[in-house]
Amino acid sequence: MSLEPNSILETLNKIWREELDNESIVLNDSTTASDIEDWDSITNIQLVVATEKFYKIRFTAAEISGFKNVGEMVRCIKKKVG
């Protein structure tokens, strides 16, 4: 499992596409929920759970509510796995 930020972003991209059933999703560091249709407060937690399962990590409640964009999540994953 590569932990380069770009590789994490690619993995998240796959998870997002699968969970939101939308093949056109392209994530980058500054992507937020408002940029993607169907990414709302409910699906957000499904995305978090799928990410946790894939990387076998556990985010804290403060981390989850503190993510401002995808980039912050990528950095948090890198810190936890690396």
Partner 1 sequence: MLFNSLKFLIFFPVVVGVYFLLPHKWRWAWLLGMSSVFYMAFVPVYILILGFTIVIDYFAGIFIERSTKWKRPFLIMSLIANIGVLAVFKYYNFLTENINLLLHTSGVTDSIPLLSILLPIGLSFHTFQAMSYTIEVYRGNQKAERHFGIYALYVMFFPQLVAGPIERPQNIIHQFHEKHFFVPQNVLDGIRQMLWGFFKKVVIADRLSLYVDPVFNDYHSFHFLNILIACGFFAFQIYADFSGYSDIALGSAKILGFDLMINFNRPYASKSITEFWRRWHISLSSWFNDYLFQPLMIGARNWGRFGTAFSLFFTFFLAGLWHGAGWTFIIYGSLHGIALVYEFYTKKFRKNLSKKIPSFFYQNVSLLLTFGFVSIAMIFFRAHTFADAFGMINNIFSMNNSNTYKWVVGAGELTFNHFSWAISGFCLLLLFITEKFTSPDLKSLNKFPRIDISLGIIVFTLILIGGVFNQSSFIYFQF
Residues 16, 46 contacting (CB under 8 angstroms): no
Residues 39, 25 contacting (CB under 8 angstroms): no
To partner 1, the closest distance from the beta carbon of 16 in angstroms equals 16
**Binds partner 1 by CB under 8 A, chosen from 48, 71, 75, 78:** 48
| 3-state class (DSSP) for residue 62 | helix
**Binds partner 1 by CB under 8 A, chosen from 64, 69, 71, 72:** 64
Does residue number 49 form part of the binding site for partner 1 (CB under 8 A)?
Answer: yes
Calpha distance 69→46 (Å, rounded): 16
Using CB under 8 A, list all residues that contact partner 1: 21, 40-42, 45-46, 48-49, 61-62, 64-66
